[in-house]
Amino acid sequence: MLGFQHREETTVKASPEAVFAIVGDLGHHAELAGSGEVKTLRQIGDGPVGVGTKFEADEEIRVIGRTTKMTASSEVVQYDAPNLVSWTSMPSVPPKPRRIQWWFRLTPDGGGTRVIHECEVDFGPAANIMVRGPYALMRGGAVKRGMRKTLENLQAKVGRA
């Protein structure tokens, strides 16, 4: 059992390669992020994005009407162009979960691409039971709305590419 998990899906009218060129490029993530919470993102080190790439995101997180500025440290943990990109993220403010992981999974779907966007938050076995309800109330709705909006943003960006 996780503290939180959610999945959103859509079909984008573009090839997996065209979609992956956007979701696999860290430079697009701040503008894709439907929550509006990611303000800037910077890759740590040079080179192409791949497994092991580290990056930081400056964010403004809203919880129960309060906005907290923070920096999240992240690392790409799966990178399989043009099918999959996944990263783990650790906020700089408590409560710090054991793992926050995000995915974009892409599969051909007719003349387009099926995009599955997923998130999991793991606070650890005992903590997940305790925080599942409160997390859903305090952050879950915003995360779900943000993920839906992220896919809308992706659809619009692919249409402009």
Q: What is the pLDDT of residues 27-69, one digit of tens each?
A: 899 999 999 999 999 999 999 999 999 999 999 988 777 888 9
pLDDT tier at 161, thresholds 50, 70, 90: low
User: Domain range for residue 57?
Assistant: 4-160
> Which pLDDT score is estimated for 94?
75
pLDDT at 135: 83
Mark 27-48 as b/e (b = at least 16 C-beta within 10 Å): ebbbebbbbebbeebebeeeee
Query: Where does residue 1 rank: exposed (0-12), middle (13-18), buried (19+ CB within 10 A)?
Result: exposed
pLDDT of residue 63: 77
pLDDT band at 144 (very low <50, low <70, confident <90, very high): very high
pLDDT for 76 equals 98
pLDDT tens sequence across 101-142:
999 999 999 999 999 999 999 998 888 888 888 888 888 899
Taking the C-alpha atoms of residue 36 and residue 144, their distance in angstroms, rounded to an integer, is 13
Burial 49-87 (b: 16+ CB within 10 A, else e): beeebebbbbbebeeeeeeeeeebebebbbbeebbbbbb
CATH number at residue 122: 3.30.530.20
User: Can you tell me which residue has the tokens 């740590």?
Assistant: 44
Return the pLDDT at 89: 96
How many domains is the chain partitioned into structurally?
1
If you average pLDDT over residues 17-22, what whole number do you get? 97
**pLDDT digits 0-9 by tens, 76-103:** 999 999 999 999 999 888 778 999 999 9
pLDDT at 150: 97
